[in-house]
Amino acid sequence: MPYGNINEDRFCKAGLFFYICILMQNGEILNKGLEKTKKGLFSRLTRVVMGRSRVDDQVLDHLEEALIASDVGVDTTLRIIDRIEERVRRDKFMNTEELNRYLREEIESLLLENKATNQVMPFDFSKKPFVILVVGVNGVGKTTTIGKLASQLKNEGKKVMLGAADTFRAAAVEQLTIWSERAGVPIVKQAMGSDPAAVAYDSLASAISRDMDVLLIDTAGRLHNKVNLMNELSKIRKVLQKLIPDAPHEVLLVLDGSTGQNAYQQASEFSKATDVTALAVTKLDGTAKGGVVIGISDMLQVPVKFIGLGEGINDLQVFDKKAFVATLFE
């Protein structure tokens, strides 16, 4: 056998080992990050079936209360309950042991309908530069999410640029500049109070001239003044399309998962202000309200693409629906 084949085989095994290590590390981060949500949901589900051998109307009523208490959301909870009721009618009998399995399957099914991803990095890099407009209110971890995403993309070999179009909030440009230095990626910025659309235009023009793969544009989170927000985001979209007709290619809404029902309100308002195409739900490690991931995605019919599970750069993870649901029910 030629030595080249042996070396190639060793290289493949080393690569596979590295990939498995990454998966294990991500699994540990996910398990730790969702610990509070998992404990809360598991304890509620345990109370739902305690002392019962079969699923009846009373069990389903208690299940409904448990899901709503876990911040899955009223409408999404009712959809899940309706589907399980249909299974009970169809199968004539369902014991409480089967309930967890059916519940898990129905949640996975909902996330699948909303095009939740299992991809390594869920973007279409055939479009160059791939333009991501990042929106969200102040304090949800928007700038941090941009910085972590930039770092991960660069580590995957992508040429990344940041655009500091949040010229409204004090220190927003400075914070994004710090993240650009940490990630080792260039940033386009102007003075505070500058026209955000002008910053976005200059960012894209620079990204094109420097042959960048990805452009991440930060925006102001002025949800208290929805008219100004809508006008600003609309103007940004129009100036970007002067250079690339289908830009931005992604509008990523960042939400703070720990705020529970407030996150639903923010998601609803932003979806009215702009065409949200993807979600990133942050700060899930410090809360028992991880059910918002399921409910908000279902409410907007928009996929969750990232979840934030801690302070570290690798704690921002591509959302894997199967791993997420498996972690909640293991």
* pLDDT band at residue 9 under the 50/70/90 scheme: low
Asked whether 276 and 270 are in contact (CB, 8 A), the reply is yes
Closest CA to 131 of 246, 243, 233, 247: 247
Q: Who has greater pLDDT, 227 or 26?
A: 227
Mean pLDDT within 19-34: 58
Q: How does pLDDT run across 162-217, given as a tens digit for each residue?
A: 999 999 887 899 999 999 999 999 999 999 899 999 999 999 999 999 999 999 99
Q: What is the pLDDT of residue 317?
A: 92
Q: Which helix (H) or strand (E) holds 32?
A: helix 3-33
Contacts of 33 (CB under 8 A, 6+ apart): 284, 285, 307, 309, 310, 315
Q: What is the pLDDT of residue 52?
A: 74
- Ordered by start, the domain boundaries in the chain are 34-330
Contacts of 216 (CB under 8 A, 6+ apart): 132, 134, 146, 149, 150, 160, 161, 162, 163
Q: How does pLDDT run across 263-294, given as a tens digit for each residue?
A: 998 898 888 888 999 999 999 887 778 889 99
Asked whether 110 and 84 are in contact (CB, 8 A), the reply is no
Q: Is the dihedral of CA 121, 126, 129, 132 positive or negative?
A: negative
pTM for the structure as a whole: 0.85
Mean pLDDT within 71-93: 89
Cα separation of the two ends of the chain: 46
Q: How does pLDDT run across 135-177, given as a tens digit for each residue?
A: 999 889 999 999 999 999 999 999 999 999 999 887 899 999 9
CATH number of 34-330: 3.40.50.300
* pLDDT band at residue 23 under the 50/70/90 scheme: very low
Looking at 254-329, list the stretches that DSSP marks H as alpha helix, in order from N- to C-terminal side: 261-273, 292-300, 321-329
Task: Name the DSSP class of 133.
Answer: E
The owner of tokens 């308002």 is 269
- Maximum distance among all Cα pairs of the chain, rounded to whole angstroms: 70
Peptide bond into 2 cis (omega under 30): no
